[in-house]
Chain A
């Protein structure tokens, strides 16, 4: 009988993945940039040199200087402060949207893949339809049709209760932006999870669990889903970057976060109008967006290799 060393440290599955991830320099760089983004978003108000809203009309469209490291915009607002505050928007949107989309995708995809039948056909039909509608169009439609009714309802609630929370336009913004973006980003997650569940449910340990008389729900949540998560983690990492780009794209087109709340997208949009004269107004937010997006993709690739060691070489 072979004696096996029992290590008392938990799950070496994840430890091994972490060890492999650490060896990948690009992934570590991506992780560092993302960590920096998280810190900046959380501690933004304490880090930014100026208030992101305070205007200084004497100092409009300044080039970078020692007072304003990244210059000022057309209203004399400090670009760096706005970028820092925009990181908060970008991060919140990316995380919020991804959480909602992943929840929808995991629930629908797992049930569809595990139980099959009419629900599976319905979910697949629904994802196909959602994916076939042009994303931008859908978001514009949602924004155009829902923004006013929600704002009016909020205003009415404010008149009733005088609770200032109903006057906060940021809430409407985020609900609409999050909702609309989650609505267009969930289908790939649902498909991915369904495909994974379809393959995992054929594994011998699932049959063994059935033979033990475990309930379907338990088999799905303890046996199938945990073993189907690897590719989802990779997809989420890349999806966070995609959600940030999407938010910027919508803000750029004016259907994202409403000004004056800074978002990298509407900063790019504003900068684009004057870029021939003041290129730094476009360059700063565009560069930050590009770097962060690339960081998420590096991390995603690194996770992919770390979680699927067989796929390497």
Chain B
């Protein structure tokens, strides 16, 4: 069953010189119980795509086209009030920076309880009990005591656990994690990834994990969508991405991952050039200017996502590689 179905989503930034397109026709689906990894460079539109679903886009940035079907409704057409009810109780969020994502003047237990009181209509006492349960669920030791702690008394990893508890407070069907480990140490990153995977199975929810770290989500995601300059360039099950990366951009991303075997190498390969700025994207394939395999035809038409022969679930937006069948 499809839980979330995004079709042809476009997002524009209103600039003084006119609108600049950041997200350019994204198609993306999330199945029930699935975990989807969204990978891409900064500014490729991965966070904006997810924020647009629940009406949290920053000022001057608007979803201007497409649909996002969730539970039979188009999220892009809901009123502000209806969206507020979706947030937290149907779609939960975890954000990037746990150090600044908690209100410094409210004890963490109260912060979780507050969300419960407003989402679920619990009484203060019920909400407090539930907050302690949630803290225990995300693996915080001595949750009853910790519920009375102030945010600044906790370490980064602990705070991120608290953020996850808040994201889960409303029992959402979909948890969107927006680079939740970027600000943490490597060892803590692995703990958080394990925690989310475990919670996903236990609470039978879907997870969308936004990151720019392919290696990190290899162990978490069922499927990975690679975004480049506001479009999906490759969308495939996780083993297909690692075993048979097809789009030149995906290949380049994987090529720039450090490996133990490559430790002797002098420099890590990087992708030449920079991604095009919104509003200044070239005609045709957005990756063509940086692509080693680009043909003149790449600069004419925007490539569509097509299935790789032999694997209907592996889709790539690159006719050149598909024809070469590599």
CB distance from A86 to the nearest CB of B (A): 39
Is A204 interfacial (CB-CB < 8 Å)?
Answer: yes
Q: How far is the CA of A106 from the CA of B217 in the complex (A)?
A: 46
Complex contact B84–A203 (CB within 8 A): no
Complex contact A2–B87 (CB within 8 A): no
Complex contact B87–A212 (CB within 8 A): yes
Is B76 interfacial (CB-CB < 8 Å)?
Answer: no
Within 8 A of B (CB), among A64-92: none
Q: How far is the CA of A212 from the CA of B104 in the complex (A)?
A: 17
Is A152 interfacial (CB-CB < 8 Å)?
Answer: no
Partner of B104, one of A1, A8, A227: A227
Contacts of A209 in B (CB 8 A): 103
Complex contact B89–A213 (CB within 8 A): yes
Name 13 A/B residue pairs within 8 A (Cβ), A-sorted.
A1-B141, A2-B158, A3-B141, A6-B145, A8-B148, A204-B96, A205-B102, A207-B95, A208-B95, A213-B85, A214-B118, A223-B103, A226-B103
Given contacts A204-B97, A222-B103, A227-B103, contact A212 B115 (CB under 8 A): yes
Chain B interface residues toward A at CB < 8 A: 54, 56, 84-89, 92-93, 95-97, 100-106, 114-115, 118-119, 141, 145-146, 148-150, 152-155, 157-158, 163, 166-167, 169-170
Partner of A204, one of B86, B100, B155: B100
Is A36 interfacial (CB-CB < 8 Å)?
Answer: no
Determine the residue in chain A with the shortest Cβ distance to B99.
Answer: A204
Determine the residue in chain A with the shortest Cβ distance to B89.
Answer: A213
Complex contact B166–A208 (CB within 8 A): yes
CB distance from B99 to the nearest CB of A (A): 9
Is A145 interfacial (CB-CB < 8 Å)?
Answer: no
Within 8 A of B (CB), among A207-227: 207-215, 218, 222-223, 226-227
Contacts of B114 in A (CB 8 A): 214, 218, 222
Contacts of A11 in B (CB 8 A): 105, 150
Determine the residue in chain B with the shortest Cβ distance to A116.
Answer: B59
Determine the residue in chain A with the shortest Cβ distance to B80.
Answer: A216
- In the complex, number of A-B residue pairs with CB atoms less than 8 Å apart: 95
Q: How far is the CA of A102 from the CA of B102 in the complex (A)?
A: 28
Chain A interface residues toward B at CB < 8 A: 1-8, 11-13, 203-205, 207-215, 218, 222-223, 226-227
Contacts of B158 in A (CB 8 A): 1-2, 4
Contacts of B169 in A (CB 8 A): 212
Q: How far is the CA of A222 from the CA of B149 in the complex (A)?
A: 17
CB distance from B73 to the nearest CB of A (A): 16
| A-B contacts besides A4-B155, A212-B169, A213-B89, 8 pairs, CB < 8 Å | A1-B141, A2-B155, A11-B150, A13-B150, A204-B101, A211-B92, A212-B93, A214-B115
Contacts of B154 in A (CB 8 A): 4
Determine the residue in chain A with the shortest Cβ distance to B96.
Answer: A204
CB distance from B88 to the nearest CB of A (A): 3
Partner of B88, one of A3, A8, A12, A211: A211
Contacts of A223 in B (CB 8 A): 103, 106
Complex contact A212–B166 (CB within 8 A): yes
Complex contact A4–B157 (CB within 8 A): no
Determine the residue in chain A with the shortest Cβ distance to B115.
Answer: A212
Complex contact A213–B103 (CB within 8 A): no
Partner of A213, one of B97, B118, B148: B118
Determine the residue in chain A with the shortest Cβ distance to B90.
Answer: A213
Q: How far is the CA of A255 from the CA of B322 in the complex (A)?
A: 87
Complex contact B149–A205 (CB within 8 A): no
Contacts of A8 in B (CB 8 A): 148
Contacts of B87 in A (CB 8 A): 210-213
Complex contact B101–A205 (CB within 8 A): yes
Partner of B119, one of A13, A204, A212: A212
Q: How far is the CA of A313 from the CA of B303 in the complex (A)?
A: 57
